[in-house]
Amino acid sequence: MMEYIYFRRVAKIVIFVLKPALFIFSIIYLLSLMFRHIFYKFGIFKSFRLDTKVISVGNITLGGTGKTPLTIILADFFKKSGKRIVISTRGYGGDYVKKGIILDINTLKNKEEQNFLGDEIYLFNSYLKEVPIFVGKDRVRIIKEAFKKEKPDILILDDGFQHIRLKRDLDIVAINGLNPFGNNGLIPYGVLREPLSSLRRADIIVISKADLTGGLTWLKNFLKGLNPNALIACCQYSLRGLYEFGKEEKIDISTLKDKDIATVCAIGDPISFEKLLNKNGIKIKIYKRFLDHHRFNTCEIREFISICLKESIDIAITTEKDIFRLRDFLGIFDKANIKPLFTEIALEFTENSEAFFERVSSLFSN
């Protein structure tokens, strides 16, 4: 039995009915993008250049491209190189961004404050303990605040490809190799945040989930034809471990290979998460998917647990991002004798790794 979240079925019907209207809105969106770029090009809108190196890590589609782990890899690389780093991010899915508050997350001490964070910020804070991370909508205000507290060598703009208000020294774009461009339509008709031609602005294009991409050669040739000057690198996810929340010991994956497992997640690309588990010999009987950054509620968790109990499933696996939002419901899992595990996943380069790090290091070669 495979359970899929209700809204996915409804969404297909709604999209079919609204398809003409969605296409019209995508044209309006395209026009707004065109005028915005024209206004910046001719100085009607002002852009800013900082006296420090600025690297943008972004994408041109909605979610699931590997942007967050790529930002972590980049920040960790420069940190180990002795560079002082600041990360600027909007913080999707958190309350602070909704209120427009600028925040250094390293000042948060208790759970109540941490609950205001989004899942991506939780990951940043987990892996980059000593890196100042500032959250908020207004990037310029964030940067001014960052420069008051830190004198960084590098500013990393998380999800910064569309933020042309701030000039950058390097543009890195992540692309989901499993589903690069959706239906090639702009939002809301498709998943593209910008036309494909915008990839000509990229200095580096990173194809994530390259091992799951059937048309990898075609995709690389297409990107090279679109932007001959860009470095194209490939990477894939690997399952580094499974853990219980709050426990440091790693779960032996081999003990799960003969068991039926349930998964629950709210990420941009749930299919690649499930495929990674399958690749490691884990058999998934129940799938529960929610929209990216979805905030779970008690009714949803109880419904999921009820399905698990009916199927005699006592282990549920989620992602490292989702466990942050599920931790308030761990007591419900415990009462049902269902053990919630989360994955630790690593992003590993499979092609042009050395060229990638040489390119980002070249910012400091002069």
* Choices 3.40.50.300, 3.90.1720.10, 3.40.395.10, 3.40.50.720: CATH for 53-237+348-364: 3.40.50.300
Task: Look at residue 96 in the predicted model and tell me its pLDDT.
Answer: 55
- In sequence order, the 6+-apart residues with CB closer than 8 A to the CB of 170 are 53, 54, 55, 56, 203, 204, 359, 360, 363
Is 246's pLDDT higher than 80? no
Start-to-end Cα distance in the chain: 59
For the segment 288-306, the average pLDDT, to the nearest whole number, is 93
Determine whether 219 is exposed, middle or buried from the number of CB atoms within 10 Å of its CB (0-12, 13-18, 19+): buried
**Are the beta carbons of 84 and 153 closer than 8 angstroms?**
yes
DSSP 204: E
For the segment 7-29, the average pLDDT, to the nearest whole number, is 79
Is 8's pLDDT higher than 90? no
- Angle, to 10 degrees, between the axis of helix 119-127 and the axis of helix 67-80? 20
Token pair in block for residue 295: 């905030």
Sign, CA dihedral 265-242-124-81, equals: negative
- In sequence order, the 6+-apart residues with CB closer than 8 A to the CB of 290 are 5, 264, 265, 266, 296, 300
Task: Look at residue 147 in the predicted model and tell me its pLDDT.
Answer: 81
Q: 273 versus 108: which is more confidently predicted?
A: 273
Report residue 316 CA to chain centroid gap: 22
| Distance between CA atoms of residues 355 and 79, nearest Å | 19
3-state secondary structure (DSSP) of residue 360: helix
Task: Look at residue 3 in the predicted model and tell me its pLDDT.
Answer: 44
Task: Look at residue 172 in the predicted model and tell me its pLDDT.
Answer: 99
Is 135's pLDDT higher than 70? yes
53-237+348-364 shares its CATH topology with 240-345: yes
Q: 90 versus 226: which is more confidently predicted?
A: 226
Domain chopping of the chain, boundaries: 53-237+348-364, 240-345
- What is the Rg, in whole angstroms, of the alpha carbon atoms belonging to the chain? 21
Task: Look at residue 58 in the predicted model and tell me its pLDDT.
Answer: 97
Sign, CA dihedral 12-185-356-47, equals: negative
Token pair in block for residue 176: 């989901």
pTM of the entire predicted model = 0.89
Is 18's pLDDT higher than 90? no
Is 173's pLDDT higher than 70? yes
Strand 154-158 with 170-176, pairing:
unpaired
- Residues of the chain above pLDDT 70, percent: 88
Task: Look at residue 67 in the predicted model and tell me its pLDDT.
Answer: 93
Provide the CATH number for the domain formed by 240-345 in this structure.
3.40.50
Q: What value does the mean pLDDT of the chain take?
A: 88
Angle made by CA atoms 100, 70, 109, in degrees to the nearest 5? 45
Task: Look at residue 110 in the predicted model and tell me its pLDDT.
Answer: 56
Half-sphere exposure of 287 (CA within 13 A, CB side): 19
